[in-house]
Amino acid sequence: MSEFEKDLRDELRGANGGDYDPDREDTLRGMLLSTFRGRTWWMSLVAWIYILLFSGLAVFAAVRFFQVEGDRQMLLYATVFVTAVIVAAITKIWYWMLINRNAVQREVKRLEIRIAELAEKLSRE
């Protein structure tokens, strides 16, 4: 095995915490928590704040919609509700894409480790 492959495997094993288990499946909780590690943790925090804020605004607008009597006020609260739900949904979709990006990166790292191990095995033969 070349020096590059050895360095690559050492680096990738270090990134995975040193305990590589190819059969281990990530849980949803683990994937959510992994978004708060690394350089982009603040983006996850902002996404969660937006999701909670706009979901709360949607609930507030829905409750107020049924409490008011004027047509203009009902239209206002219906518009606020729809807008808040759309913003919360878009933020959730973006956050899910962030989770999937991290999962794909982990899978690529696992494949790189397997390729390095295969190259080492072939070089021994």
Q: What is the pLDDT of residue 31?
A: 82
CA distance 26 to 103: 9
CA distance 22 to 33: 20
Q: What is the pLDDT of residue 3?
A: 75
The pLDDT tens digits of the residues spanning 13-68 come to 665 555 555 456 678 788 888 888 888 889 999 999 999 999 999 999 999 999 99
Q: Which of 9-23, 28-42, 68-82, 106-120 has the lowest mean pLDDT?
A: 9-23
Taking alpha carbons only, the member of 118, 124, 107 closest to residue 12 is 107
21 φ, ψ to 5°? -130, 105
Global confidence as pTM: 0.66
* Averaged pLDDT for residues 108-123: 84
Q: What is the pLDDT of residue 104?
A: 87
What value, to the nearest 5°, has the Cα angle with vertex 102 and ends 17 and 40?
90
Report domain extents, the chain.
3-18+39-124
Residue type, 83: T
Q: What is the pLDDT of residue 49?
A: 96
